[in-house]
Amino acid sequence: MSIAAASPCAVTFADAPACEGALLLPVRGVRGGLAFAVQDWVAQEVPVALEFNGISHAVMLATPMDLEDFALGFSLTEGILDGAHELYGVEAEPSEQGITVRLEVAGAAFARLKQKRRSMAGRTGCGLCGTESLAHVSRALPVLDDGAPIDRRAIAKAMARLQAQQTLQQATGAVHAAAWCSAQGEVVLLREDVGRHNALDKLVGALASAEVEAAGGFIAVTSRASFEMVQKTAMAGVPLLAAVSAPTSFAVATAERARLTLVGFARKDDLVVYCRPERLRN
């Protein structure tokens, strides 16, 4: 039996063939002074390459599930696509090296990508210094509308329900989750991945595919609130990001720029608001 026996995925080889996003591997260890040898679920992490109209653009290490959501969400949060309507098709092709996800995008989106790549290449001082300039990191973000205030108890409710829906995390203990929650604190959509940014991109893609009115709720994440997490939330048009851990100073500054309410240390009934507290109702 798996160590994470409470999970729906935590079963032996004889009980079920697979747990999506994880591999069942033999492990040994010591717990409570007693040695054990069991089969346990281990989260998958594989290289995932994104190709746009035949041009390779990015390679990330990700959990190989919800890859269509991932491809769409990444394209939206990186500003490659203006909307889901510019994505014509997605095809994933596995190989020994990893997975190649091929996206067919509109001509306008492809032109945008080529301009982005030229800009990145033109601003790089040397091949070993990275691919983006400081100006490129702090790109233009949408300024979010105020909208209706959200009750802080809705955040506590969502955070309490988040854990129960993290089936891959329960099985492996190795993945992050990002969830879009209604203003009442209901977890409507949730995506998991070994990378916190990937989980959020998957969620943004799922929101776009489902045509959810993203501005009507908030995003809850099981990680810290880094600059990238704030940027992706703003690009998705969601006015509030609640994280179980702390934000960074750059994340707070970015949230202020986008008029996004940033909440950290959201645990049980506790939370800390770092900017735009007027969007929360006590």
By annotation, the residues acting in catalysis are: 126
Q: How far apart are CA 17 and CA 261, in angstroms?
A: 43
User: Is residue 232 within 8 Å of residue 200, measured between CB atoms?
Assistant: yes
Q: How far apart are CA 166 and CA 197, in angstroms?
A: 16
Which of 78-105 are b and which e, b meaning 16 or more Cβ less than 10 Å from the residue's Cβ?
bbbbeebebbeebeeeeeeebbbbbbeb
Q: How far apart are CA 154 and CA 186, in angstroms?
A: 8
User: Is residue 262 within 8 Å of residue 249, measured between CB atoms?
Assistant: no
* Both structure tokens of 219: 């995003």
3-class secondary structure, 199: helix
Q: How would you classify the pairing of strands 55-62 and 99-105?
A: unpaired
Q: How far apart are CA 173 and CA 170, in angstroms?
A: 6
Q: How far apart are CA 19 and CA 147, in angstroms?
A: 40
The DSSP code sequence of 16-79 is -S-BTTEEEEEEEEEETTEEEEEEEEEE--EEEEEEETTEEEEEEEE-SSSHHHHHHHHHHHTT
